[in-house]
A and B are shown apart, each in its own frame.
Chain A
Amino acid sequence: MDHPLPIPQFLHDGDFLGVLKAHGYETAPRLAQAAAKFQHEMGKGSIATEGTTVLAVKYKDGVLVAGDRRATAGNLVMYERAEKLINIDERSILAIAGVPAVAFEMARVLEHSFKYFERSQLQEMSTAGKVRSLSKLLKDNLPLTLQGVGMVVPIFATYETEGGKDGGGKVYFYDALGAQFEGVDYSASGSGSLAVRSVLHYLNTWGGKPLGKYNESEIVIAALRVLDTAADSDTATSGYNPKSDIFPIVRVITKEGIREIPDSELSRVYKSEV
């Protein structure tokens, strides 16, 4: 049935992806066709580079987000210095497991979408709105996911300060189709995530005190130990590489914003605690 009155639209809704598409930006479907053809001709499975283990844990002052540095393609190690944590705005980090080519593009779209929304609409996008934006991008990416060449399974970590209120740290995780879930205490993604989740569950339940009560130095130690555990059983996860001094990337999001734990500090913790 037709509505007696048409539903009015916002004259300007601050949707950056819409603006991009109007300017000829291509999303996944066309790429997926090309990818399918390529795979068919090569007669092989996926050869796309993939990032591996990332995790986000809530602690006393906010959220810690960490990722190892390895990127793999099949059984090849492609890169040992991959950065899988991407700062999206002053208090949000996207941690990516999956194909970097797609994930970095998503991060770029998100970063600009949030900035664009805030500047054009003169208000910051709500956390729910941000979480939903990522979900929409994942859904747009469905054709690539189904082709098996562009799957991305991200974690979105943020510190809520909406309307001047201190909402604390928040962790959201997604499946490859775009469904979003809020992680209560922690979340992990990528090939090493099984080990990470198991250890975090153990620590949270029987570790003496819940992860949410850890202070910053305690949570950094826990994160490094848990990544080391994942690297022990998962070849695609690198952990600490003493030969070339490559450390995982560890960042914390607090009320003040995002801060990276420097390599010098990580090195000290590795030597004394891991």
Chain B
Amino acid sequence: MIEEPYRWVEAIANRREYIEDQLRRGSPVVALDFADGLLLLTVSRETRKVFEVYDRVAFAALGHPADIERMRLVAIDLAHIEGFNRAVADVSLRRLVNFGMSPALKTAFEEVFSAPHIVKILLAELGDEPAQDSIVKLDYDGSLARSEIEMKESFDVLAGTADAQKAMLDYLVEQNGNQRRSLEDALKLAAKTWAVGMDTAEHHEGKQDDEPEKREIDPEKVLKEHLKSRHVEAAVLERSRPATKKFRLLDEKEIRAALKDL
């Protein structure tokens, strides 16, 4: 069937629909700047979703755990080989994504007879200065998902549906006051943004796509409800860390302390 071009297009379209359906209920990811660097946050049930790739690069994803793992290892292998053969400074997010991960995902996506990668990835890189920080999102087909917001902001979100992503970004833009916020404030804001995204994604299910309804969401209530069976997972890239490795996974105590009065 693949010999016929229109069949191929059809196969790709089916594949897209299948993957997007699988991703719909994925737990959103929030990347947010704070006074000392970047914060990545999600809420997960069991498997970890936020990882260290290299000294200044962090990785978070939603999708199938095995596919997340595969792409995580691709990123780690590429970064370490480059860092070893050249220098730590030569491992850049742009090269990692454009010349490594994006082509790998595209190839896997277009091999219509093998299983696709069910995954959406967000990568964050800490620069020497806040202006050099960057956040990149990669879709399951290898395309670099452009942010819905036009401005070059130091935050971004990843969610299973476009609606959820939009709701989260709207919420962030609205709440994004202090750029020099403390880690604690960043954790609070990120957790609430996550709740907005999760609620939108769940609410969307079973509804028609063209339903232009605007709902009021109480992020704190939604978050509390979800935290009964899940836990907040967060990591930071901290500029002030003395070591060359800037990544730190936040421990439960720290997260709980920041979110206790929500």
Q: Do A and B come from one complex?
A: yes
**Cβ-closest chain B residue relative to A258:** B243
Task: Decide if B80 touches A115 in the complex (CB within 8 Å).
Answer: yes
A-B interface contact total, Cβ < 8 Å: 34
Q: Mark B160-190, 1 if CB is under 8 A from A, else 0.
A: 0000000000000000000000000000000
Tell me the residues in window 60-86 of chain B with beta carbons closer than 8 Å to chain A beta carbons. Answer: 73, 76-77, 80-81, 83-84
A16 to B48, CA, bound (A): 22
Of A29-37, A116-124, A139-147, A266-274, which stretch is located at the interface?
A116-124
Cα of A237 to Cα of B262 in the assembled complex, Å: 63
Answer whether residue B23 sits at the interface, using C-beta atoms and an 8 A cutoff.
no
Pick the contact of A19 from B52, B80, B245 — CB < 8 Å? Answer: B80
Contact with B along A21-35 (1 / 0, CB 8 A): 001000000000000
| Residue A90 lies at the interface, judged by CB distance under 8 Å to chain B | yes
Q: Which residue of A has the minimal Cβ distance to B81?
A: A23
Interface size class of B (residues with CB under 8 A): 10 to 19
A209 within 8 A of B: no
The answer to whether A12 touches B81 (Cβ under 8 A) is no
**Could you tell me the dominant secondary structure of chain B's interface residues?**
mixed
Task: Assess the B84–A12 pair: CB atoms within 8 A.
Answer: no
Partner of B80, one of A16, A122, A257: A16
B84 adjacent to A109 (CB under 8 Å):
yes
- Chain A: number of interface residues, binned into ranges: 10 to 19
Which residues of the partner chain B approach A23 to less than 8 Å between Cβ atoms? 81
Nearest CB in chain A to that of B247: its residue:
A119
| A115-B245 contact in complex given A19-B77, A19-B80, A108-B84, C-beta closer than 8 Å | yes
- A189-246: which have CB < 8 Å to B? none
Give the contacting residue for A120; candidates B73, B81, B243; CB below 8 A.
B73
Query: Complex Cα distance A1/B3, Å?
Result: 49
Q: Which residues of B contact A (CB under 8 A)?
A: 48, 51-55, 73, 76-77, 80-81, 83-84, 242-243, 245
18 more CB-based (< 8 A) A-B contacts, given A120-B73, A122-B48: A12-B73, A16-B84, A19-B77, A19-B81, A23-B81, A90-B243, A90-B245, A112-B83, A112-B84, A115-B55, A115-B245, A116-B80, A119-B51, A119-B53, A119-B76, A119-B80, A120-B76, A120-B77
